[in-house]
Structure 1
Amino acid sequence: MAARKPMLILVYEPERACFDRLLADGFTPRAAMEISSYLAQSTDLAPEFGAIAEACFARGLDFHAVELDDAAGMLVGCDRGKSLVWTLTDGIAYFRGGAAPALARLYGLPTIGVDDSLFALCQDKFRSGAVLAALGLPVPAAGLARDGRWVVELQESSSGYFVKPNRLGAKIGIWEESRCRTPNEALALAGRVFEAYRDDVVVQPYVAGRNVRASFLAVDPKAGAEALGIAFVDSGGDFQTMADSMALYGDTGAAAKDEGRYAEPELVPVASLQPRAAGRIRRIAARLMAGLGLRDVFSLDLRVEADDTVHLIEFEVCPGLPCFDFRAYCRAEWGLGLADAMAETAARRLLS
């Protein structure tokens, strides 16, 4: 009998499974659609599973994509020395992808990405912000509100406030009103978020600047912060709303393309305009890798002001691999399309 080849296992939670579960939990169809849309990368990547399998085969690997609900039964029989688990979609509240790296650890399987404790941390913005501040990183101060009441009150801010759900997805806003002027307006938004999504909100002083996405994939296992891709993401708005997100990804993004409403934000390398800010972002990433344990694949969301002041907004351990910005990063940094970048990342770990 021929020996089984090393295998890359991609675990993902489909949008539809999340949508159906949210409906069963009593969410409105609109809220369920909006929440499940944050899993759009599983929808967008599924048509490329064949290309990933071909890229893996060319490198001597097997590839298996498995839905989260089937992962436990599949992972329990895997060869510890020849299997590598890559978690595509995260979550600890509305989404359940954070269970995948925990299952991998339970069965003694190596993973691409951080350990499961960071999957939980990054999906709780208030707690992760506290940890980032303890590491001395430039994160905005944060208060926490629940259903229109303060849990942790924020000090007065002359720049106004920014309000975002604490555990919902990875975006930095829901509505245009997410930037507000007074604490009372912030509490009113907290009530709206709780009613629609049953979530707390993080309230932060509004910080000025342009939106920046920093992407990282260690195709070479020895890669460090020098391999970070850092780009301004100019979408025409001050911040991304729920509507903006839904027009870019998944089934709603596909519909936007068909209707001519889709427009990819422009990506501009930060180093080409503000090299000092780019250097600061690389140092932030290096600190996160050393102090927090980020590795293999992650992204950072930041704001950069004209004077090179950098604000770290959040980190993601499951960046949107099929998104335009991550694809552009793979081409620019590694000279590879997404399927080849994923396969090469796995091959260098499984076959070395």
Structure 2
Amino acid sequence: MPHSQPTLILVHEPVKACFDRLVAEGYPTERATEISSYLAQSTDLAPEFGELAAACGKRGLAFMAAELDDAATVLAKADPRATLVWTLTDGVAYFRGGASPALARLNGLRTIGADDSLFALCQDKFRSGAVLAALGLPVPAVGLARNGAWLVEPPASAAGWFVKPNRLGAKIGIWADSRITELGHALELSRRVFAGYRDDVVVQPYVAGRNVRASFLGLKPETGVEALGIAFVDSGGDFQTMADSMALYGDTGQAARDAGIYAEPELEPVAASQPAADRAIRAIAQKLTAGVGLKDVFSVDFRVEADDTVHLIEFEVCPGLPCFDFRDYCRRQWGMSLADAMAETAANRLLR
């Protein structure tokens, strides 16, 4: 039987599909809008599917974008000898992208990125934090609360605490009062989060410092942590709220661009001002790739203090590819547009 044409299949969960499902499950429209906004990279990348197809075509690949609800059918028909699956979003709670690498494995298809077990782990901050702590990595200890009651009490903290949903989004607090000085307020926030988002909250000691994003794309299979792009991400605030996040991506971000009020956070290479912190982050990333199995494409979030103390906040197996920071990384590290970098990565896996 002849081989099919080598094909990259990009599986993505559209915002509307998630929104409609959440509303059907009884979420208020405003909450469903906020939750589904985390899938905005599907919205932001869709206009570039033609560019991606052209970049793949130049390298001898076919390209197919498959919506998550169609993935079971599409992947069941794919040729295992000539197919590579790239999943654009994770998710086992509000989002369902974690089903994609599992379906790929079920059908004997190769994938870009971590195995499906990490898609589940990374979205649960409490469980992933426990794993990272067991590896000896510098993660803040956390407590866990559900609807006003402690499941695990947080450690004492002279600097106060930070409260965030356990399974939603990345490192943000939902509201501007997510940094707290009284644990009673953490329980109040947990009631708010449970009422609006049906989620627990993690409560971690507040750690000072600047926000850092480490981005990685293994353009070639042998690429190591030397290819990490490590940058301070300065948005003008100590942490990101839900409103801040929504202003950057998807339809809300596009509206801000149209109105001329869109402002991307500033990126500054950590090595330029704190080379010791840059080295520490690369060592942590090396331990992550070995201990957890991160590979191919991922991002890691940190807080870095002025004395080079590094706090690991969390990792993502599906970084926001069309986001400003990952595009900047592709340009700086690989000298390529996002489409070319993705196509080159796929070609190096399928053809070489």
TM band (smaller chain):
over 0.9
| Deviation of 1:77 (Å) | 1.1
CA distance in 2, matches of 1:263, 1:171: 20
1:281-292 correspondence to structure 2 within 5 Å:
281-292=281-292
Corresponding letter in the other structure for 1:285? A
TM-score by length of 1: 0.99
Conserved 8 A contact 1:247-1:261: no
CA deviation string 1:178-202 (max 9, x = no partner)? 1011110111111111111000000
Which segment drifts farther, 192-201 or 167-176? 167-176
Partner residue, 2:74: 74
| Deviation of 1:250 (Å) | 0.3
* Unpaired segments ≥5 residues, structure 1: none
Q: Secondary structure at the match of 1:33?
A: helix
Conserved 8 A contact 1:297-1:317: yes
State the Cα RMSD in Å. 1.0
Partner residue, 1:311: 311
CA distance in 1, matches of 2:21, 2:91: 14
Q: Secondary structure at the match of 1:150?
A: strand
Q: Secondary structure at the match of 1:85?
A: strand
Q: Is 2:57 the partner of 1:54?
A: no
| Deviation of 1:260 (Å) | 2.7
TM-score by length of 2: 0.99
Conserved 8 A contact 1:171-1:241: no
Conserved 8 A contact 1:217-1:296: yes
Corresponding letter in the other structure for 2:15? E
Partner residue, 2:257: 257
Q: Percent identity?
A: 74
| Deviation of 1:255 (Å) | 1.1
CA distance in 2, matches of 1:334, 1:259: 32
Q: Secondary structure at the match of 1:138?
A: coil
| Deviation of 1:109 (Å) | 0.5
Corresponding letter in the other structure for 2:294? L
1:335-350 correspondence to structure 2 within 5 Å:
335-350=335-350
CA distance in 2, matches of 1:258, 1:208: 35
Partner residue, 1:208: 208
Partner residue, 1:13: 13
| Deviation of 1:2 (Å) | 8.6
CA distance in 1, matches of 2:152, 2:136: 21
CA deviation string 1:77-132 (max 9, x = no partner)? 11111000000011100000000000001111010000000000000000000000
CA deviation string 1:221-241 (max 9, x = no partner)? 100111000000000000111
Corresponding letter in the other structure for 2:8? L
CA distance in 2, matches of 1:45, 1:284: 30
Q: Secondary structure at the match of 2:177?
A: helix
CA deviation string 1:307-333 (max 9, x = no partner)? 000000000000000000000000111
Partner residue, 1:166: 166
* Unpaired segments ≥5 residues, structure 2: none
| Deviation of 1:256 (Å) | 1.5
